[in-house]
């Protein structure tokens, strides 16, 4: 069945109707997805996506907007003097970038589906963001923080590694599950308690922590605790994911082909 032109759909419905249509088509949150991403960022992204759709923006354009806000916040973090105003500005820029990052996929759904190039662009922007944010913390900690020992600079370096490995492993999980098809168990929706327990690993929670830049020692203490929490979560997740991949490998290739 041929899909009606995007412009025809956009002109035939109001902003409110677009929001409602997007809400009804919302994907189920993955099990273990943290609270901010589910209950705040996805909802804000929905409103931004509806507005972008009404304006005729493509998903790639929305990804570009997300990148502008995100990298503006990262640059400001790296070069600015830590103050309450700077911290609040960094938080708002990163939070807006995160919301638009959610919106690009929702715009794609409104337009009838995304494209491989759009998915590629989204992942590349995310990969740059994930590592460069912690490197910006490293720069500002080295330049402005009165750390008791240079050893503390290993915290943002370690956070960079943890964030990069977490992102790569999740992408690799999806690729291998798609390759092996029926060997992967169906995703289960997230529960409230799991979402709350995952809060320390939420990118949105990390973004909000930059508000504390007005008190550098307090920010760095919170940042270090987030690093410990994310490191512990990654270790547990890697063990589980390795077992999941072992289960995929135990399914004969011809079985997955027949079942599909």
3-state secondary structure 214-241: HCHHHHHHHHHHHHHHHHHHHHHHHHHH
Average pLDDT value for the chain: 85
More confident residue, 61 or 249: 61
Q: Is the pLDDT of residue 174 over 70?
A: yes
User: What domains can be seen in the chain, in order of their start residue?
Assistant: 6-250 (1.20.120.1760)
Residues near 48 by beta carbon (within 8 Å), at least 6 away in sequence: 62, 99, 100, 102, 103
pLDDT band at 165 (very low <50, low <70, confident <90, very high): very high
**Residue 260: predicted pLDDT:** 42
Enumerate residues 6+ apart whose C-beta is below 8 A from 164: 127, 130, 131
65: nearest Cα among 93, 39, 106, 89? 93
For residue 112, what pLDDT is reported? Answer: 79
Mean pLDDT of 179-192: 57
pLDDT grade for 31, boundaries at 50, 70 and 90: low
Q: Which one has a higher pLDDT value, 252 or 107?
A: 107
**Residue 100, number of CB atoms within 10 A of its CB:** 25
Question: What is the structure's pLDDT at 184?
Answer: 43
pLDDT band at 72 (very low <50, low <70, confident <90, very high): very high
Highest-scoring range by mean pLDDT, 12-16, 144-148, 180-184, 253-257: 144-148
What DSSP line would sit under 18-50, residue for residue? HHHHHHHTPPPPBTT--HHIIIIIHHHHHHHHH
Please state, in angstroms and rounded to a whole number, the distance separating the CA atoms of residues 24 and 20: 6
Contact 79, 44 (CB under 8 A): no
């Amino acid at each position: 069945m041929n899909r009606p032109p995007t412009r025809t759909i956009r002109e035939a419905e109001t902003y409110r109707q677009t929001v409602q249509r997007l809400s009804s088509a919302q994907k189920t949150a993955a099990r273990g997805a943290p609270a901010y991403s589910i209950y705040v960022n996805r909802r804000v992204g929905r409103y931004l996506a509806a507005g972008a759709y009404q304006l005729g923006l493509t998903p790639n354009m929305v990804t570009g907007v997300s990148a502008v806000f995100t990298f503006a916040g990262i640059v400001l973090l790296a070069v600015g003097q830590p103050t309450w105003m700077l911290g609040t500005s960094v938080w708002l820029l990163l939070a807006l970038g995160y919301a638009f990052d959610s919106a690009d996929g929702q715009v794609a759904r409104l337009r009838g589906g995304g494209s491989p190039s759009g998915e590629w662009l989204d992942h590349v922007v995310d990969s740059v963001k994930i590592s460069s944010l912690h490197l910006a913390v490293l720069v500002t900690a080295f330049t402005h923080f009165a750390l008791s020992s240079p050893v503390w600079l290993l915290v943002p370096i370690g956070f960079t590694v943890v964030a990069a490995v977490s992102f790569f492993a999740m992408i690799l999980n999806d690729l291998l599950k798609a390759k092996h098809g029926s060997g992967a168990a169906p995703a289960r929706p997230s529960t409230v308690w799991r979402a709350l327990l995952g809060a320390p690993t939420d990118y949105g929670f990390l973004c909000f922590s930059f508000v504390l830049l007005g008190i550098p020692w307090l920010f760095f203490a919170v940042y270090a605790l987030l690093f410990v929490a994310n490191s512990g979560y990654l270790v547990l997740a890697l063990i589980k994911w390795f077992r999941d991949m072992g289960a995929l490998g135990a399914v004969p290739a011809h079985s997955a082909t027949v079942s599909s």
